[in-house]
Amino acid sequence: MAVKKAAKGAPKRGATRGPDRLTGRGRLRRSVPVSLGDRSYAVEIGQDWLETIGRRIGDRLGVERVALVTVPTVARRYAPMLTRGLRAKGVRVGRIVVPDGDATKNLQQLGRLYDEFLALGLDRQSAVVTLGGGVVGDLGGFAASTFLRGIDFVQVPTTVLAMVDASIGGKTGVNLRQGKNLVGAFHQPRGVYLDVATLRSLPMRQRAAGAAELVKAAAIWDAELFEWLESRMEDFMALRPDVVIPALERACAIKAEVVERDEREGGLRRLLNFGHTLAHAVEAHAGYRGILHGEAVAIGMVFAAERSEALGFAPVGTAARLAALLERAGLPTRAPNRPRGAYLSAIAVDKKKEDGQIHFVVSNGIGSAGTALMKARDIIPPGWRP
């Protein structure tokens, strides 16, 4: 079993470590750069500014036509405001509504998007704007990356999970029957725009699912952020702006730094998959229905932390501390009761494989992580029970 350890994450350039940098200070607009040369962009965070976002996108892209890809609930509540801003800049907007849920990330829906793009008259000078959660961003972004060999797209995430994770870094893709995200491409957005006011319409379960990715960022990279969340999780779940905005800013900065240092997941970026090996197996067995991605990630993180302790990577108590914080957000922390063989079969198609082994992300303690190249049977050992 080969082992690769990663050093503890450094703070974002110009950022201050510790809880003081997360006090909010009354600012309702933040900007986090993602520096990737000529493909650089910013994650812009604000509140109650969807129409302004539309105008900003129009200025940024300078295109005549945009396909706005979204889901039914978001389309009714937020698409009109975003569309007004785009049209104010002379952009012709065609709305495409896809079903919600991870099962939508499939080749059939992808083909439908291509047909809709052609019907709207999109060409290589057009663009795609995704409005919604991670499913919309992954599906719409992958369609943009491959339509006419690639056109521009912009992310406007409306869930916590998409804001802190899925919208940043250019990973796009769809699922196959055999597993998650097995077909995809790296295609960086031209911009990412967050309006935290959109989180108010999320049910508590969706907020919790997003909080899982926020906790993940702290667990692998920033022990002080993790401690800060331990003192403020209830305030985050209640969407207090002085907690939500700085927490999102820090989580986005962590994701941005990792992406800048390893855009195409050659090594360091694998750490962002902490908890995802088992999570993807849980989702696959559920047919991508009935369990949210963040819920599966919460289960997977606790499992990964427990295995890390057993393998000697993490100090005893790491998993218990992680589980306690996730449970305060209302998240599950134990895997569904299925046979070990079923989980082994599911993780056998993990896309992070190399020479028949999996780059399993392990905890080195709260705030630090690494990878261990392991066989599936060592990740889920004989006698393991959910």
pLDDT digit string, tens, across residues 245-282: 999 999 999 999 999 999 987 789 999 999 999 999 99
| Active-site annotation holds for 257 | no
pLDDT reading at 52 higher than 70? yes
* Residue bearing the bigger pLDDT, 27 or 42: 42
CA distance 116 to 72: 16
DSSP-based three-state secondary structure for 265:
coil
| Active-site annotation holds for 171 | yes
pLDDT reading at 193 higher than 50? yes
- Tens-digit pLDDT profile for residues 86-101: 999 999 999 999 999 8
Was domain 35-201 assigned CATH 3.40.50.1970? Answer: yes
Looking at the DSSP assignment, which residues form a beta bridge with residue 107?
Answer: none
CA distance 213 to 366: 14
Q: What is the structure's pLDDT at 15?
A: 39
| Active-site annotation holds for 273 | yes
Give residue limits of the domains in the chain: 2-10+203-379, 35-201
Instruction: Output the CA angle 245-249-253, nearest 5 degrees.
Output: 175
* Among the four given CATH numbers 3.20.20.80, 1.20.1090.10, 3.30.360.10, 3.40.50.300, the one describing domain 2-10+203-379: 1.20.1090.10
| Active-site annotation holds for 269 | yes
pLDDT reading at 17 higher than 50? no
| Active-site annotation holds for 285 | no
Which of 30, 105, 171, 232 is catalytic? The answer is 171
Q: What is the pTM of this model?
A: 0.88
Contact 296, 282 (CB under 8 A): yes
| Active-site annotation holds for 280 | yes
- pLDDT category, 172, cuts 50, 70, 90? very high
CA distance 58 to 215: 34
Tokens 């009935």, located at residue: 290
Which of 232, 276, 307, 359 is catalytic? The answer is 276
Question: CA torsion, points 168, 173, 176, 178, in degrees to nearest 10?
Answer: -40
| Active-site annotation holds for 293 | yes
Which of 280, 307, 352, 359 is catalytic? The answer is 280
Which of 55, 56, 116, 273 is catalytic? The answer is 273
| Active-site annotation holds for 149 | yes
